[in-house]
A and B are shown apart, each in its own frame.
Chain A
Amino acid sequence: METFLLALGVLLAGGVFPLLTHRLFNFMKAVYIGATVCGCGIGLYAAGISLRSSEIVSISWPWLHIFMLSFSLDSLSAFFLIPIFSICPLAALYSFHYMNKGQQSGRTAINLFFFTVLIISMALVTTAGNIISFALAWEVMSVSSFFLVMYEYQREATRQAGYLYFIFAQAGAMFIFAAFAVAYSHTGSFSFAQFAGIPAQVKVLIFFLALIGFGSKAGIFPVHIWLPHAHPAAPSHISAVMSGVMIKMGIYGIIRIYSLLEVKDLIFGQSVLVFGMISGLLGIVYALGKRDIKKLLAYSSVENIGIILIGAGTGMIGVYSNNAIMAGFGFAGSLLHVLNHSIFKSLMFMGAGAILQKTKTRHIDQMGGLIKRMPLTGKSCVIGAVSISGLPPFNGFIGEFMIYFAAFEGLGVKGPTAILMMLAIISLALIGGLAVTCFTKVIGVAFLGEPRSDKAASASECGFAMTAPMVVMAAACVIIGIIPEPFINLVFLSLRDIHGFSAVPPDVIAGLARNLGLAARLILALLALSLILQRICYLGKEVAKGPTWGCGFTRPTARMQYTGTSYAMSVADFFRPFVKVNTVYSGIKKIFPRGTTYTTRVDDIAEITMNQGMVGPLLKVLGKLRWIQHGNIQLYFGYIILTIVVMLFFI
């Protein structure tokens, strides 16, 4: 635990440093990155120690005389520390060349400071040992990330996105605190340890309140609405950390509360599973329909949260039905996907940031041909795209395979579980197919073909501080994919402290890990063989260059390429009841038509429903109450006194 605190101390020192030295722009950033990398390294070491030893270390000290702040580090906490402490330093490194505007040094320094606060608060969320410390860390996390989103506050869109995020973060926190309040009213203690003794019906209430709260942070459909707004508004390394790491705190919360309440009933697993399937399917369909690359990635996070929840839900059902393999592989697949997603999603967001910096656009149909101009970014993103589509031989497949394995195991369970498991498997299969469609679109339209705009044509590779993190993460995707054994063991190790979890036979885990590794290495070997065969076939042959075959048309232009929108439209159309496709077509008029326009847009039904069903009526009612706010300070004091007087009657 001391090592962990040391890590936080180093991080904090590094975070305060830029505030003092922001005039020395590059020096400030370099020292900041050095301190962050050091701090995170120590933190990873601390997590490693905790995973290896089976005891749970904790620490606590009094605060404001009446509260105890307590933090403890068990295996589950240690596991969630791994993505925090491995992705954040890479994002910090990335910011060196990404935040390159010297004239905004003050603002950059503040941004770096809040980034550190975010890292520390996330680490504290995962180690919080009682209600008070959890609530504090959670709020600091939400507020610091709000300031990070607001970096470009002069832009209207950024401010709107920031406020939307703030409302969702606070409303979500309200649900979590409500859950804690209900728990407190039954246990009379701030400690997490007594949650298990709460009556069963109350546990249901607590779990579902917490599920809504944590779900809004994680981005579960339909409370995911802030993600596609906040991620595009934030600087790219911030989106990378928010999407790759911070939303996982919601997942941590769900698994933690499940473990604390020591519940086994079917309803918990079932509802988590159903939310997972809905988030997974709709998330990827919306991602497919988006043209803004960062919005697309944000929706893809909703999808991946869905996959993680499918795993967790399967695990919970496995616990209920006393099926060790189903429970073990469900939770393990879910946790491994947490780690994997933090890697490839951060990679993709950093790739998007690199494109954004060079082409100044987020519109995917304005890009094209970037892999020739930004080779390192392009190749890393191809690896990221294959991984995020869950395809072997990279890491995404390992996690998804384990979830499949658990779900197939669940088919043998009697009753409605079998039907749910069928739905889970089919959703996973559909999500897999849709993810392939979505990420071939990202790579194919943004990186391949001909540049679709002048800016894309003049793009160049970005600085080493931006490409290096991407290359490292791409390498991580490959390594976890082809040598999965240590990582699979790692997730099973971190499941140790989850309640109700019984050990999976080690030979099953070892066998599966070995086979997956074998399959991944085999496909790589076969690929190498066929590449060699291809090379041999071309030995001494004539290889010519020419234009793309235009089916007889000899004057092709870059604008004739298939756009990302048309690529995705038939699929989006297929899901029409759940996806609103808005098309505006001016039509062709007169003999010599001119100025024809055609725009099409995919809208999120959750957002539309929320706007029409909640925000609209709320504004109407609140508009009628606007007279309360008149700007007269004396009367405001009057309100306060009146409130206190009224409250006195209730004491």
Chain B
Amino acid sequence: MESILAYAIAILAAPLFPGIILKVKAFVAGKKGPPLLIKYYTLAKLFRKGSVYSTSTSFLFRMGPAVSMAAAVMALLFCPLAGMIPVLSFQGDVIVVFYIMGLGRFFTILAALDTASPFEGMGSAREAFFSMLAEATVFMVLILFYRLNGSLSFSGYFSGDNPITLTGPNGSLLLLVIVSMFMILLTENSRVPVDDPMTHLELTMIHEVMILDHSGPDLALIELGAFCKLIFYSVFIAHLLVPAKALEGPLYDVVFVVAVGAIYVAIGITESIMARLKMNLVPKFILTSFALVSFAAILTTMGFI
């Protein structure tokens, strides 16, 4: 029951956190910035509206938002939130979760190609390419965690006798994982330096250009899905940041939420101090994250750790 409550809170709070990113960016730029609840206002506005559908599109265009939303919501089900156990968990659920996200991407790409727009085709080609590379990093992380912990589920990683934590005997390896998972977070959620959610030129976009033709509640569903996905990755990293057994009870939960917030602040700072990478540098950026984790994983096979 507790976990279902936490799950509901996570979904409801998901639109809050991107507001933090905007505030941080505004603060760095010396501006006042939009209100913290801006994303709720946006969602409410979108849900009130109707839609314009392109005459080129088919039923797949309408399915895209629903699938990407369902996939993101499903991923959160398996994710332990703060000190709670996840709603669902079984050996191998990590593979299911990352493949479910792949399903969401599959239909987002199809919806984009359904519009017959060259820009959206270009965006989907980039999305497919970059996420393919990101998948390699994610699975390398899973390999490393399996070597450290022998588990294949999110709840198994952070609980039990041998949890994955910074203060554990292999904590140093986790520093590499944290950095590369943060890079994957930026990639998968279309943040700077991979993609710029604020850009106004269709040619330079990745994710934003794929959803150009979606409007009204459809767009709201996509946005909500994106917020859930972002919070999923942030929670994942927060689990690595906050040592599992150092604190107990409500204090742990508070620290955990602060850690999640800190990750959003870090995204905001990254966006403020960096420009978007040139498109041909993005694969190198993702491969860097892959190299970092591979390094850690190979160390475990050589008997050093």
Contact = CB atoms under 8 A, between A and B. Distances in A.
Please determine whether chains A and B interact with each other in the same assembly.
Answer: yes
Interface of A: 368-369, 371-372, 378, 382, 386, 389-393, 397, 401, 404-405, 408, 411-412, 418-419, 422, 425-426, 428-430, 432-434, 436-437, 439-440, 443-445, 448-450, 511-512, 515-516, 518-519, 522-523, 526-527, 529-531, 533-534, 537-538, 541-551, 556, 558, 560-562, 566-568, 570-571, 574
A474 to B, nearest CB: 15
Specify the main secondary structure of chain B where it touches its partner.
helix
Given A448-B114, A548-B115, A392 B128 contact: no
Specify the main secondary structure of chain A where it touches its partner.
helix
B168 to A, nearest CB: 18
Contacts of A434: 132
B58 A371 contact: yes
Identify which of B47, B88, B114, B125 gathers the most chain A CB atoms within 10 Å of its CB: B125
Given A538-B51, A542-B50, A546-B55, A408 B121 contact: no
Given A450-B56, A548-B56, A560 B118 contact: yes
6 contacts: A448-B116, A519-B100, A534-B217, A538-B216, A547-B56, A567-B125
Given A544-B51, A562-B118, A401 B113 contact: no
A534 B129 contact: no
B74 A526 contact: yes
Identify which of B57, B139, B142, B216 gathers the most chain A CB atoms within 10 Å of its CB: B139
Interface in B140-157: 140, 142-143, 146-147, 150, 152
B291 interface: no
Contacts of A567: 121, 124-125, 128
B143 A432 contact: no
A523 B70 contact: yes
B91 interface: yes
A549 B212 contact: yes
B45 interface: no
Nearest to A389: B106
Given A392-B99, A534-B221, A567-B121, A433 B135 contact: yes
A531 B92 contact: no
Contact of A449 (B77, B88, B116, B301): B116
B139 to A, nearest CB: 4
Given A401-B96, A401-B99, A534-B217, 16 more contacts: A368-B116, A369-B56, A372-B58, A391-B99, A404-B92, A422-B301, A425-B139, A433-B131, A433-B132, A449-B116, A450-B56, A515-B91, A519-B96, A530-B66, A561-B117, A567-B128
Nearest to A542: B50
Contacts of A411: 143, 146-147
B53 interface: yes
B135 A432 contact: yes
A411 to B, nearest CB: 5
B136 A529 contact: no
Contacts of B60: 371, 382, 448
Contacts of B230: none
A429 B221 contact: no
Contacts of B118: 560-562
A440 B64 CA distance: 13
Contacts of A389: 102, 106
B90 interface: yes
Contact of B113 (A391, A397, A445, A560): A445
Identify which of B49, B96, B126, B142 gathers the most chain A CB atoms within 10 Å of its CB: B96
A362 B278 CA distance: 36
Contact of A534 (B62, B106, B115, B132): B62
A562 B92 contact: no
B143 A425 contact: yes
Contacts of A571: 128-129, 132
B63 interface: yes
Contacts of A549: 54, 115, 117, 212-213
Contact of A436 (B54, B62, B128, B147): B128
B53 A544 contact: yes
Interface in B78-115: 88, 90-93, 95-96, 99-100, 102-103, 105-106, 109-110, 112-115
Identify which of B92, B138, B152 gathers the most chain A CB atoms within 10 Å of its CB: B92
B52 interface: yes
Contacts of B202: 551
B100 A541 contact: no
A512 B100 contact: no
A206 to B, nearest CB: 33
A342 to B, nearest CB: 22
B129 A522 contact: no
Contacts of A449: 56, 113-116
B195 interface: no
Given A401-B96, A419-B301, A570 B125 contact: yes
Contacts of B66: 527, 530-531, 533-534
A418 B297 CA distance: 10
B165 to A, nearest CB: 20
Contacts of B50: 538, 541-544
B117 A548 contact: yes
Contacts of A386: 103, 106
A574 B287 CA distance: 12
B133 interface: yes
A433 B103 CA distance: 11
A426 B103 CA distance: 19
B232 interface: no
A534 B128 contact: no
B70 A527 contact: yes
Given A448-B113, A523-B71, A544 B52 contact: yes
B92 A405 contact: yes
B177 interface: no
A393 B74 CA distance: 12
A562 B121 CA distance: 5
Nearest to B51: A543
Contacts of B65: 530, 534
B90 A511 contact: yes
Interface in B177-218: 202, 212-213, 216-218
Contact of B102 (A372, A432, A443, A546): A432
Which 7 pairs across A and B sit closest by C-beta, in order of nearness? A562-B121, A433-B132, A444-B113, A537-B217, A449-B116, A542-B50, A429-B139
A574 B135 contact: no
Identify which of B58, B71, B114, B120 gathers the most chain A CB atoms within 10 Å of its CB: B58
B67 interface: yes
Contact of B103 (A368, A523, A551, A574): A523
B33 interface: no
A560 B121 CA distance: 10
Contacts of B212: 549, 551
Identify which of B50, B54, B105, B110 gathers the most chain A CB atoms within 10 Å of its CB: B110
